[in-house]
Structure 1
């Protein structure tokens, strides 16, 4: 039975009759406004009552905290393989490390570039508990043409590495880490070693830029391998900038084996053709121009990590040596060069915490004498970042410097010369020249004291 027949006729009339506003003053309709206000309050109260609890129950936005390890130049002779296995095991037992980057030189300077050697070294990296991203270095293929390395063809050795170390879309190691390789682009099918991945709001890039003048050959004719790879590397950096912008990433970290950034930018000599002894052609000039373009397209912090041949007091150094053709320092490009005291027992660790004013912190860790017990095996949390994110613009993050405005830089006052003294401005305009190396690290990277080995 419906409820309507139960009502009295008067009640039915009251329900069918609309509310009439009462008169206020002469012909006024103040009652209508009162009813409307009450209706709005009821609607708002219902909305907030229904959705207020849901908003309060939503968890806060996740704050990304992770760490990654970087090693290089670990193995120099066959007897070091067992120590490399212990190093990889020690890093994998650290629950804070999300992945490891082996930044070049998996072979010693006096070892042969044979297939058997590379198979053994890959087996050591595959046994890592944490994912390992391998970046080829000079000794891995460039210097394989020497007599001590077996007189191999460097290009053939590079092809061998591509087929055996970069043959799928995952990194090395027991824990899977999905990588995007440049070989997925049909135009750059051979360049499997150039990879990209993302953790949190940071985009990571692996680039094949070896030491030894980037494998530039001074012999006559077309330097095919060098010229093609320069184009591929430039495209990969440009693609990384576009990917980072679309994902609202806050930083880009680039791993390469070579030191492509000099202490200061050399200006071209107009009278070099008059000299009999010409300087060798710089094989990293195109790479630096690609990095300048990357810094212009992506205004967030760009971190370049590479090993250093010379020993460093603290195991690493942090500076900002990249300058444009006008000599202006690019403030959002930072270099982290590392040369560990004992590469067989130490690794460089970079901790990221976007909740801090200085999100990235660099430190050196030692393999403990007594390895801790293995943490429970878990799949790494690598969520797919949305195309439209609620994160603020990267240039507005507190503590993150912006790249210098080249037009505004020409209007600044006195600069600092290469000797540290003030340089008077020229007539009409002036430019800012940064002091020489060493430079203070930028505010988004903090240097930590080396950790003492734990017993």
Structure 2
């Protein structure tokens, strides 16, 4: 069994905590299920059942509920919504690029990406103040909290649990939809990037004011991409312009918070734990979840009054016969 106890980045004093803060677990996963429904839906249902049997406080899906080469039609998106609502007791979700950004691909059906994004917002987030799952939890949505400027962004949500603040921000792969040759895509990116930065900043300010024990931020995009380009260098790794603004604000706010921060993301399908900003934000740890063929999940143990705060244990999918 794998297990990561995070001593370097999060083995740090969590600060003053409420006596009500109790240890708990949640589950993180993403980039699944990929493939033809008749081949991957059943194994994904097995994974959901395995997750539910662990009785987490909630589950976080970091996006890419389908592959980039499967149809983006209503039936597929509706099926994925059904999966989100089968997690017990609750699930939160931030969209990935395969659900909308990459839907223009012929194999995905040649859809208008912005129309697909609108469909997700209209059907997945009918009530943005309520999570997914069999027993939903209450969320704060940017569309409500910042309705004067960002009423569109129903998918950006946050909540607190046992003194830990959780933030979901809509940051996706495919360079965060910043496509210089597509004016509509670029305009969408700049508007959403502004919303994400405002949401991130306000949410960290809220965590600081509340003296939160830690912050957990969930996005879809792999902003680091170890497997592409030159060798990865700490503090200088962002090779795609669609992430620079968001990452800059993230490091600034995480440093100001000065307590453990866990960044959860997917996109590249490689389970790993590392320190993304060892100089700019030394108390931040990054967790990339499993994905694609490795249809597994990660259980995160949170002990708010313990200096280590976070620990990770993979949840292997029994339907994959130990593979992955």
Give the distance between the partners of 1:67 and 1:354, measured in 2 at CA.
11
Matched, 1:322 2:292: no
Relative distance call for 1:304 and 1:161 in structure 2 (3 A) is same
TM-score (norm 1): 0.60
SS at match of 1:148: helix
Is the counterpart of residue 336 in structure 1 residue 311 in structure 2?
no
Aligned to 1:69: 27
Within 5 Å, which residues of 2 pair with 1:35-114? 61-76=19-34, 77-79=36-38, 80-95=40-55, 97-114=56-73
CA displacement, residues 195-244 of structure 1 (integer Å, 9 cap, x when unaligned): 10111111001111110111001127572101001110000011111111
Mapped contact 1:308–1:339 kept (Cα < 8 A): no
Aligned to 2:156: 194
Structure 2: state its 5+ residue gaps.
1-17, 226-231
Q: 1:242 aligns with which of 198, 201, 205?
A: 205
1:266 and 2:225 aligned = no
Distance in 1 (CA, whole Å) between partners of 2:267 and 2:63 is 11
Structure 1 position 123, deviation (Å): 1.5
SS across alignment from 2:217 = strand
1:141 aligns to what? Answer: 100
Contact map agreement 2:46 2:318 (CA 8 A) in 1: no
Residues 281 and 308 from structure 1, CA distance in 2 versus in 1: closer, same or farther, beyond 3 angstroms? closer
Measured on the aligned residues, the alpha-carbon RMSD in Å equals: 2.4
Taking the aligned partners of 2:54 and 2:236, their CA distance within structure 1 comes to 43
Residues 320 and 329 in structure 1, CA contact (< 8 A), matched pair in contact too: no
Q: Which residue of 2 aligns with 1:152?
A: 111
Cα distance in 2 for partners of 1:301, 1:211 equals 25
- 1:144 aligns to what SS in structure 2? coil
**Counterparts of 2:246 and 2:44, CA distance in 1:** 31
- With normalisation by structure 2, the TM-score equals 0.83
Are 2:28 and 2:289, in contact at CA under 8 Å, matched by a contact in 1?
no
Deviation at 1:367, TM superposition (A): 4.4
d(CA) in 1 for partners of 2:75, 2:137: 26
Computing the radius of gyration from Cα coordinates, the structure with the larger value is 1
The match for 2:8 is none
Larger displacement relative to structure 2 (133-142 or 83-92):
83-92
| Alpha-carbon separation, structure 1, partners of 2:267 and 2:174 | 13
Contact kept, 8 Å, 1:138 with 1:210, in 2: the verdict is yes
Is the alpha carbon distance of 1:267 and 1:111 closer, same or farther for their aligned partners in structure 2, counting shifts above 3 Å?
A: closer
Deviations 1:370-419 (A, max 9, x none): xxxxxxxxxxxxxxxxxxxxxxxxxxxxxxxxxxxxxxxxxxxxxxxxxx
The structure 1 residue matched to 2:301, chosen from 348, 351, 359, is 351
Match for 1:128 among 71, 84, 87? 87
Matched, 1:176 2:136: yes
Larger RCO (CA under 8 A, 6+ residues apart): 2
How many residue pairs align between the two structures? 291
CA distance in 2, matches of 1:121, 1:357: 37
Find out whether 1:232 has 2:205 as its counterpart. Answer: no
Q: What does 1:363-442 align with in structure 2 at a 5 Å threshold? A: 363-367=313-317
User: Deviation per CA, 1:77-98, whole angstroms, max 9, x where unpaired?
Assistant: 2121122222212211222x11
Q: Is the 8 A contact 2:51 2:315 kept in 1?
A: no
